[in-house]
Amino acid sequence: MPTTLQNVVFPVAKDPDVLPLYADAEIWSKVGGKQVRLSQNAHIDNVISRSSMRVNAGKRVSFASYFNAFPAAYWQRWTVVSSVRLTLRTEGPGTVIVYRSNAGGVQQRVDSREVSGSVENTFDLPLTMFSDGGWYWFDLIASTDDLILAAGAWSTDAEPVQTGKLSLGMTTYNKPDYCVTTLENVADDPALLEGIDRIFLVDQGTQKVRDQAGFDEVAALLGEKLQLIEQGNLGGSGGFSRSMAETLEREDSDFLMLLDDDVEFETESALRGLQFGRFNSEPVIVGGHMFDLLDKPVVHAWAEVVRPDQFIWGPSFEQQHRHDFRKQNLRQTKWMHARLDADYNGWWMCMIPKQIIAEIGLSLPVFIKWDDAEYGLRARAAGYRTVSMPGVALWHVSWLDKDDSQDWQAFFHTRNRIVAGLLHSDRPGSGKLLQDAHRQDIKKMLNMQYYAVQLAIDGMQSVLRGPQSLHKTISTDMPAARKRAAQFPETHVYKPGDTDTPVAVGGRALPLLDDPTSPRGIKLALFTLRMIPEHWRRSSTENDLRAPELEYAKRDAKWWQIPHHSSVIVGAADGSGKMWYRHDRAKFRRLLRESRALSRRIEKNWDRLAAEYRTALPQITSVEEWKKTFEGR
């Protein structure tokens, strides 16, 4: 009997913004070298149910969409499946056309059938010509009456390599409402529920999920499949490591899917991830893409890598970043047809085979930041790859309106990046990692963001204390970083209505009419050589009660403009208020000295530190060591 790999699904919520992710209901044409939308052939009201959709008489709708096209290249490369069957159940008169694409995004017609009445059609499609990329999809063309797609699925007659079930590992800190909603979505999907062995909900917050309205009801529906675990706040790495350790004890689980808390969950994605894992020809980490919860047609990144010279994460090329499916859907986006490889996948949604966890251990004990990237690099070193799988995704609260490189998380950005580099960089003497990190510190100092630089210094000092300190301080690093903020007045946010909000004497800076390019190369070097001595010589302190010179909107506060001032007001990234940045000579001089000295010290001792961290890695990521931390020992 065929095994369903991927159902054709539609959003039951009447949200028109997400329709382009499920159906390409528009007619496009190239005008002046650009794809232009000519007409729209469907509306969100054409969605009938989770599995069915109407195509109005005389209209054509393509299902070359993120959630309903079939990513053939990934199945050919990573699984034992050699052919896939498309089954479509339709009602009414019309035509079904099946297409494929190649790695360059060129569309090719594969098959077509005329349909009428209530009928089921199958198309057997080989997975033999997609080594570098390509998808399968279908279009529906309604004739004189409406054509209804009643149901559709992609399936295979191949035998799976593994048949075990899936455990879900959710980590939360004070997001009980999101967690209950996710549990309700899982409970409402019988097919997914059948494939789940256990749901580990690791609650590390003070607002308990068990106290949230609706929890008792959904817990009763899930029964013994749900295991609520409450522990101290050990960050994402501590919560996810707890799920990893628990999964290793589950005989019926072959896979663990990690989920963040502040998400909206497309449950079909979890089923697809599970099936992809079951048919993998070799164990791989299966990652899901992240869409923006507050701007739902926008995907954050497609396939992420760690660039070896600077040892920094990011999309493998820039066009992937925040791609908007309202502007360009699958057919119009040529790069999306290539099979893209990833170094790691964010732990907002990531499925790890239990075999990999048993072999390479649990997460690095670093609280947050770089735990997912380090794990992907560690897995690759052990011979296991990461696949960021198209059609597997959720919606997550974006960090677009955050600036976590300047708040308490700056400690973890610096410390954990260096630790990951020590463990996995193959460049001598850190490559350009420390040089780039120090350059970022200089930018922040010139922008009077002294708190963030202080935390970067604290992070470097933590690195020098060695790997054994990671478990010892995992529960105290975050409170210590937050406590530091009291020493840095620029961390205070002046809210609307506050009577003590400083007023800029020069008013609000004029908005930028364009996006000027930041200085690079020789211009950057000259800018830095000019501004560092200027800030060094300035005699002002942050206690001077001088008025800000200008007020900047956050989007206009470019890092190469703020250094020309000694006092400015800048909008907070999340729009909650304003922050007052003031030059302080004593802090600038001290932080510049300490940042340079610590960078040089780590670089000088890089080989020794790398050997120390690599030797300790198996122990500090072991179940035994983590259990001590879970128990507070």
What CATH number corresponds to the domain at position 67? 3.90.550.60
Look at residue 27 and tell me whether its pLDDT is greater than 80. no
Considering the domain architecture, whether residues 174 and 131 belong to the same structural domain is answered as: no
Q: Flag whether 628 is in a domain.
A: no
Considering the domain architecture, whether residues 88 and 186 belong to the same structural domain is answered as: no
Residues of the chain above pLDDT 90, percent: 80
Look at residue 541 and tell me whether its pLDDT is greater than 90. no
Considering the domain architecture, whether residues 176 and 70 belong to the same structural domain is answered as: no
Q: Which residue has the higher pLDDT, 490 or 401?
A: 490
Look at residue 38 and tell me whether its pLDDT is greater than 90. no
Question: Domain boundary residue among 132, 156, 180?
Answer: 156
Question: Residue 505 gets which letter from DSSP?
Answer: T
| pTM metric for this prediction | 0.93
What's the pLDDT band for 521 if we cut at 50, 70, 90? Answer: confident
Which of 10-19, 271-280, 418-427 shows the lowest per-residue confidence on average (mean pLDDT)?
Answer: 10-19
Considering the domain architecture, whether residues 109 and 207 belong to the same structural domain is answered as: no
Closest alpha carbon to 363 in 230, 231, 253, 242: 242
Strand partners, 351: 257, 286
Q: CA-CA distance, 562 to 226, in Å (whole number)?
A: 51
Residues of the chain above pLDDT 70, percent: 96
Q: Is 190 helix (H, G, I), strand (E, B) or coil?
A: helix
Query: In three state form, how does the secondary structure of 342-360 look?
Result: ECECCCCEEEEEHHHHHHH
Q: Flag whether 134 is in a domain.
A: yes
Which of 56-60, 192-196, 446-450, 514-518 shows the lowest per-residue confidence on average (mean pLDDT)?
Answer: 514-518
Considering the domain architecture, whether residues 141 and 270 belong to the same structural domain is answered as: no
Q: What is the largest CA-CA distance in the chain?
A: 84
Q: Flag whether 336 is in a domain.
A: no
Strand partners, 255: 166, 353
Q: Flag whether 106 is in a domain.
A: yes
Considering the domain architecture, whether residues 467 and 380 belong to the same structural domain is answered as: no
Phi-psi category of 182—alpha, beta or left, where left has phi over 0 and alpha has psi -120 to 50?
alpha
Give the number of domains in the chain: 3
CA angle in degrees (0–180, nearest 5) for 59-61-64 = 165
- Write out the residue range of the structural domain in which residue 256 sits: 165-303+341-396
Q: Flag whether 50 is in a domain.
A: yes
Looking at the annotation, which residues are catalytic?
372
Q: In the prediction, which pLDDT does 201 show?
A: 98
Considering the domain architecture, whether residues 192 and 223 belong to the same structural domain is answered as: yes
Closest alpha carbon to 468 in 619, 575, 579: 619
Q: In the prediction, which pLDDT does 513 show?
A: 60
Considering the domain architecture, whether residues 448 and 389 belong to the same structural domain is answered as: no
Considering the domain architecture, whether residues 529 and 561 belong to the same structural domain is answered as: yes
Q: Flag whether 615 is in a domain.
A: no
Look at residue 559 and tell me whether its pLDDT is greater than 90. no
Mean pLDDT of 622-627: 97
Supply the mean pLDDT for the chain.
Answer: 93
Q: In the prediction, which pLDDT does 148 show?
A: 97
What's the pLDDT band for 459 if we cut at 50, 70, 90? Answer: very high
> How many other CB atoms are there within 10 angstroms of residue 145's CB atom?
14
Q: CA-CA distance, 540 to 414, in Å (whole number)?
A: 28
Considering the domain architecture, whether residues 472 and 528 belong to the same structural domain is answered as: yes
Q: In the prediction, which pLDDT does 403 show?
A: 72
What's the pLDDT band for 374 if we cut at 50, 70, 90? Answer: very high
Q: In the prediction, which pLDDT does 406 show?
A: 82
Considering the domain architecture, whether residues 438 and 566 belong to the same structural domain is answered as: yes
Q: In the prediction, which pLDDT does 545 show?
A: 67
Mean pLDDT of 592-614: 97
Question: Residue 457 gets which letter from DSSP?
Answer: H
Q: Flag whether 151 is in a domain.
A: yes
Q: CA-CA distance, 279 to 555, in Å (whole number)?
A: 46
Q: Flag whether 324 is in a domain.
A: no
Considering the domain architecture, whether residues 152 and 186 belong to the same structural domain is answered as: no
CA angle in degrees (0–180, nearest 5) for 534-535-541 = 135
Count Cα neighbours of 104 within 13 Å in the Cβ-side half-sphere: 2
